[in-house]
Amino acid sequence: MRKTKKFWGWGYEGFEINQKAFNKTKAMLQFALGVSQLESIEAPKLANLRLRASRFKLPASIASICTNATYDRAAHSYGKSFRDIWRGLHGQFDNPPDYVSYPKTEADIEVLMAFASRKGISLIPFGGGSSVVGGVEPSSSALFKGAITVDLKYFNQILEIDKQSRTARIQAGIFGPELEAGLKPHGLTLRHFPQSFEFSTLGGWIATRSGGHFATLYTHIDEFIQSLRMISPNGVMQTRRLPGSGAGPSEERLLAGSEGILGIITEAWMRLQDIPKFKLSQTVRFRHFMQGVEACRAIAQSGLNPSNARLVSPLEALSNGLGNGQDTIMILGFESHDHPLHAWMDRALAICESFGGKWTSKNDSSTKSTQKDVAASQWKSSFLQAPYARDELMKLGFIVETFETAVSWDQFESFHQGVEAATQAAIKEYCGKGIFTCRFTHLYPDGPAPYYTVIAKGKAGQQLVQWDNIKAAASQAIIDHGGTITHHHAVGKDHLPYYEQQRSKPYGDILASIKRTLDPSGILNPGVLIGEGNEGMRK
């Protein structure tokens, strides 16, 4: 039976979350936030949607690869942030794309671009639609006569595998599970697993500089790119396959993170890895959060390069079935395709112990090639179900959202205190009560990537305004205290005001100049990365 993705929220229709765990979370939140009466918001029905009529007609040259069916337009109106889900849940599809296009060839994309440039139609590149920063939402600017979302679902093949170089040529529209399934028979893996893995694509990962699940060493998709191919309104960019090069600024690095404003990425040669054969994991407890922070810093600077070193604050750990609500938890793991890992794990645990870390059973010189930790498995299960649980909590009226950043080790303690204070103050002002938690998703020798979660008491019909105010306070605090507005969720439209504070003015001018060169009519994903009023292209 074919699964149908929700047009308003995360994942597939009919997906059943762990109801026992969800009920426990719901009861805990009701108690912590003093919520006695829960809302009951029903998911919208497709038959009840009344979308604005398409504002222009298509020529025969592209009509065959486009649709204006209600489901397609609704499902391509938003990404998957709290703002997106809330509007979808309330049936607010005020600015859908006029059409959704499903090109099958690069020639189709070129025809689309020519038509859009000629007619003043914006084009929104679309992979899996898992953006949480307004990265796939059509522009509402009067500069454009309409919008077409360009969905790359037919660009979904692994075209070549070079096992000798351990690389593969892969189309950009392939989703994570299909990508890994295609590589597995060859003993290979891209080994890039963002939380959105099931519902995001290779092209989306590249365009947003996605961060994967693994905590150290190869954390971002950039590091796996050998070469790229992108179609722009001003021609094709195809970079050369090389293991490394010092020949000028990197074309690949320019295109990675461009978020669809310069062109549409159609394929890439990606660096692969052998599938790991050796795996070890362990859960470590710290009495104090900053003890765990110092242990993370020492591990990040040790050269051990664990696959996982996720530090989770007490309350967040408890809500995911870990710990006692008082201890900070570190989920520590190692993987290798080449060698046993006990020496690495033993050394990492010794570092943790030097900062007060404790664990139930020490990893000894066991001959087992793999050793699973029950708590780590519990965390993985909660991690994958979290987006579904978020949507269910939203139906009950809760505000549930996250934001993430990165900062150097020397700044972290004051940074964390400043961001927490600003966010907690906003929660109190706009919601009265709320929960604020932190975990580290990635570690670098020079700093961590903190990931924050906010769960707050929502007011019926006002949750979007409440969250927007909290998000604004948290985002400004991140910038004011020296962090990046995003470590791995991209800029989109939502982060643009803070990205403009983070980047230098000359670089902003350079980015706008590059866009004018590649996209002279300014049709590609307007309002993303560069403010629409600053593009200076459409008249």
Rounding to the nearest 10 degrees, give the CA dihedral for residues 186, 191, 192, 194: 110
- What average pLDDT does range 257-269 have in this prediction? 98
Evaluate whether 105 touches 87 at the Cβ level (below 8 Å).
no
pLDDT of residue 367: 45
Tokens of 387: 């987006």
Summarize the confidence of residues 68-83 as an average pLDDT: 98
Closest CA to 465 of 86, 34, 89: 86
pLDDT above 90: percentage of residues in the chain: 88
Packing angle of the helix pair 409-430, 289-300 (nearest 10 deg): 140
Confidence at residue 371, expressed as pLDDT on a 0 to 100 scale: 61
CA-to-CA distance for 344 and 467, rounded, in angstroms?
42
Query: Would you state the pLDDT for residue 324?
Result: 85
pLDDT value of residue 157: 98
Strands (E), 46-85: 66-67
The model's confidence at residue 191, banded by pLDDT at 50, 70 and 90, is very high
Question: Structure pTM?
Answer: 0.94
Q: Are 260 and 125 in contact (CB under 8 A)?
A: yes
- 24-33, 326-335, 344-353, 379-388: lowest mean pLDDT where? 379-388
Average pLDDT of span 343-368: 82
- pLDDT at residue 18, rounded to an integer: 87
Among 71, 155, 62, which Cα is nearest to 105's?
155
**Contact between 10 and 86 (Cβ < 8 Å):** no
Average pLDDT over residues 8-19: 91
**Does the pLDDT of residue 145 top 90, yes or no?**
yes
Find all residues with CB under 8 Å of 393, minimum gap 6, and list them.
25, 26, 29, 400, 455
Q: Position 408: which residue type?
A: S
Tell me the pLDDT band of 529, cut-offs 50, 70 and 90.
Answer: very high
pLDDT at 539: 41
Task: Give me the pLDDT at residue 366, please.
Answer: 43
Arithmetic mean of pLDDT, 158-186: 98
- pLDDT number for residue 368: 56
Question: For the chain, what are the domain ranges?
Answer: 278-368
415-457 per-position pLDDT tens digit: 999 999 999 999 999 999 999 999 999 999 999 999 999 999 9
Q: Which of 64, 75, 74, 131 is nearest to 103 (CA)?
A: 64
Residue with the larger pLDDT of the pair 164 and 363: 164
Mean pLDDT, residues 171-185: 98
pLDDT score at 385: 82
Domain 278-368 has CATH 1.10.3720.10: no
Instruction: Give pLDDT, residue 531.
Output: 83
Q: Please determine, for residue 379, whether its predicted confidence score (pLDDT) is greater than 90.
A: no
Are the CB atoms for 172 and 208 separated by under 8 Å? no
Reading the block at residue 367, the tokens are: 């001959």
Mean pLDDT of 484-504: 97
Q: What pLDDT was estimated at residue 362? A: 52
Amino acid identity, residue 305? N
Q: Percent of the chain beyond pLDDT 70?
A: 94
Cα(206)–Cα(524) distance, integer angstroms: 16
Nearest residue to 494 via CA among 84, 35, 181: 84
- pLDDT higher than threshold 70 for residue 536: no
Average pLDDT, the chain: 93
Instruction: Identify the pLDDT of residue 182.
Output: 98
